[in-house]
Chain A
């Protein structure tokens, strides 16, 4: 064998080893979810920490009864709809308002736009615990404490990241296109919606994904702002189910975890290209 053959054979061997290593790591990634799935199919009496790793047997198999029980007990459907409502309304509002604000900031040079920009950057560093108590009180006073208005709170708290990402992109946009539209007599509003919005589409998708991941999974903000007896989002529901009863029924709880995860994973698999691009774009801007 000549040298090139040796090298390519060695490379093939190394690649096989790498594939095997990555395969083993993948098992660690999939197994926890597989285990929850297995346990959610067992009868309540068969669940204990000692038998957590056993597959359901004929004697312990419970079919879908845990799912039915969990969904009815947890009032899962209404939580799901509230989560959906809050996420969609907040993300749409954040994208619309923040892209407009960012365009203003990147095209107008005034103390207002500078101040707004630096405040937004600053707000990204502030931990939520700093404002949680006063924010909940403010929301109560202004009647923003229900799933229909909470999007205004999310706009306020999510504005930092969105304005930052949009401004970063818009500052690098060639200004000649807008200049041409201006000369053709385009009003600022029309220009924004028919010229600027289409150009910023990649940033819009990235920002929308980052904000969706945050709002959908957010636990503390809705817990403090919403009345937990009336409205619950999915993370609140899981925590409430787990935390408020003396003895937790583990089997329905695991069924609920599965129902919570499955839509997210389906969404992830269908638009993972955008999600991963969104993460990269967010990091580069950050």
Chain B
């Protein structure tokens, strides 16, 4: 007989006897349940990650000729100013696109929760670009924007980094507004109608209802959407590659494309190590941004 005290020791999760046996039984089956994912995870993520950190301290052109060089790759990151340029381009783009996408998506979500006719059709249309891959989207917009620019007698996307910036902004807004809108609609639909009615009875104007009731209540959605748009914009690669390709002269290159270009676009034994060092810096930046953002918006969430 297993007494309750023993069961607690053996199974911290489940203190009831039947469940304790269940936990033990599942535990015995670990090679079936968790091993396949664990192996694939080790191959596809853990090992490349650790190896990548090691290689950032090495000089290598192939993996068979690796020479440890300490921090010298990190000091060479700024050997040309392409990385710092890419960083400022990416930072500016991330801030502008996060604001644009979230504000517009929230406005569209407000319009679509008024219960007008055709809501479903509009929602379907606005979400559609998310089904199309980044490479294809980039080419579609390249054709469209180049057509516009040449009709206006302006230089094409590949010749003007400023046009490239706004092109990327238009493209990303076009794609992401629909996605974020879906999340905001779900958030707005969860705001209790009683709460809004109570505010209206107290004489709140529609603007006050929005500011004081709706926005605080959808704060969890805002947290998620800003997190998604921030990381999507900061890590943007496919759309950057296909819309501008970094032209002219790497002026519209974002960080992910700059790292890719350092790895595969340059000849010379030192570049792969520098590229890997850039990737480590990039990774740290992403983690820092994600943590700051989650902390900042989480603190504004309210309990219903």
Q: Do A112 and B43 form a contact, CB below 8 Å, given A127-B286, A257-B136, A265-B128?
A: no
Residues of A within 8 A of B116 (CB): 15, 18-19, 22
| Residues A135 and B133 in contact, CB atoms below 8 Å apart | no
- Give chain A interface residues in 153-204, CB to chain B under 8 Å: 153-157, 159-160, 163, 175, 178-179, 182-183, 187-189, 192
Residues of B within 8 A of A107 (CB): 13, 22-23, 26
Q: Do A97 and B40 form a contact, CB below 8 Å, given A127-B282, A182-B21?
A: yes
B217 within 8 A of A: no
B5 within 8 A of A: no
Residues of B in contact, count (CB < 8 Å): 101
B92 within 8 A of A: no
Chain B proximity of A1: nearest CB distance (Å): 21
Residues of A within 8 A of B33 (CB): 100-101, 103-104, 188, 192
| Residues B36 and A129 in contact, CB atoms below 8 Å apart | no
Q: Do A29 and B140 form a contact, CB below 8 Å, given A133-B52, A188-B25?
A: no
Residues of A within 8 A of B12 (CB): 109
Chain A proximity of B254: nearest CB distance (Å): 11
B186 within 8 A of A: yes
| Residues B18 and A183 in contact, CB atoms below 8 Å apart | yes
Residues of B within 8 A of A4 (CB): none
**Binary contact track A1-30/B, C-beta < 8 Å → 1, others 0:** 000000000000001001101100110111
A78 within 8 A of B: no
| Residues B279 and A129 in contact, CB atoms below 8 Å apart | yes
Residues of B within 8 A of A30 (CB): 125
Q: Which of the residues B51, B143, B224, B260 comes within 8 Å of A35, measured between beta carbons?
A: B143
**Binary contact track B248-291/A, C-beta < 8 Å → 1, others 0:** 00000000100110010000000010011001101100110010
A81 within 8 A of B: no
| Residues A219 and B238 in contact, CB atoms below 8 Å apart | yes
| Residues B114 and A18 in contact, CB atoms below 8 Å apart | yes
| Residues B150 and A133 in contact, CB atoms below 8 Å apart | no
Q: Which of the residues B29, B108, B131, B147 comes within 8 Å of A213, measured between beta carbons?
A: B131
In the bound complex, CA of A284 to CA of B32 (Å): 29
Residue of A nearest to B29 (CB): A188
Residues of A in contact, count (CB < 8 Å): 99
A220 within 8 A of B: yes
Residues of A within 8 A of B48 (CB): 131, 134-135, 138
- Give chain A interface residues in 236-286, CB to chain B under 8 Å: 238-239, 242, 250, 253-254, 257, 260-261, 264-265, 267-269, 272, 275-276, 279-280, 283-284, 286
| Residues B283 and A130 in contact, CB atoms below 8 Å apart | yes
| Residues B49 and A187 in contact, CB atoms below 8 Å apart | no
- Give chain B interface residues in 127-159, CB to chain A under 8 Å: 127-136, 139-141, 143-144, 146-147, 149-151, 156
In the bound complex, CA of A132 to CA of B130 (Å): 24
- The B contact surface, by secondary structure, is helix
A216 within 8 A of B: yes
In the bound complex, CA of A50 to CA of B153 (Å): 9
| Residues B146 and A279 in contact, CB atoms below 8 Å apart | no
Residues of A within 8 A of B135 (CB): 217, 219, 235, 238-239
Chain B proximity of A232: nearest CB distance (Å): 12
| Residues A131 and B52 in contact, CB atoms below 8 Å apart | yes
Residue of B nearest to A142 (CB): B43
Residues of B within 8 A of A105 (CB): 34
| Residues B186 and A155 in contact, CB atoms below 8 Å apart | no
**Binary contact track A108-152/B, C-beta < 8 Å → 1, others 0:** 111011001001100101111111111101100010100000001
> Which positions in B face A, CB cutoff 8 Å?
11-14, 16, 18-19, 21-23, 25-30, 32-34, 36-38, 40-49, 51-52, 55, 63, 108, 111-112, 114, 116-118, 121-136, 139-141, 143-144, 146-147, 149-151, 156, 174, 178-179, 182-183, 186, 221, 224-225, 227-228, 231, 235, 237-238, 241-242, 256, 259-260, 263, 272, 275-276, 279-280, 282-283, 286-287, 290
A-B contact pairs, 24 of them (CB 8 A): A15-B114, A29-B125, A32-B140, A35-B147, A36-B140, A49-B147, A100-B34, A101-B37, A129-B237, A138-B48, A152-B43, A153-B40, A154-B44, A159-B37, A175-B14, A182-B19, A219-B134, A234-B133, A235-B134, A239-B135, A275-B127, A283-B186, A284-B224, A286-B224
| Shortest Cβ-Cβ A-B pairs, 9 listed | A156-B44, A52-B147, A217-B133, A131-B48, A134-B48, A49-B150, A155-B40, A101-B37, A104-B33
Q: A119-B46, A152-B40, A156-B40 are in contact. List 8 more A-B contacts (CB 8 A).
A: A108-B23, A112-B34, A129-B260, A133-B276, A156-B41, A183-B18, A238-B136, A279-B179
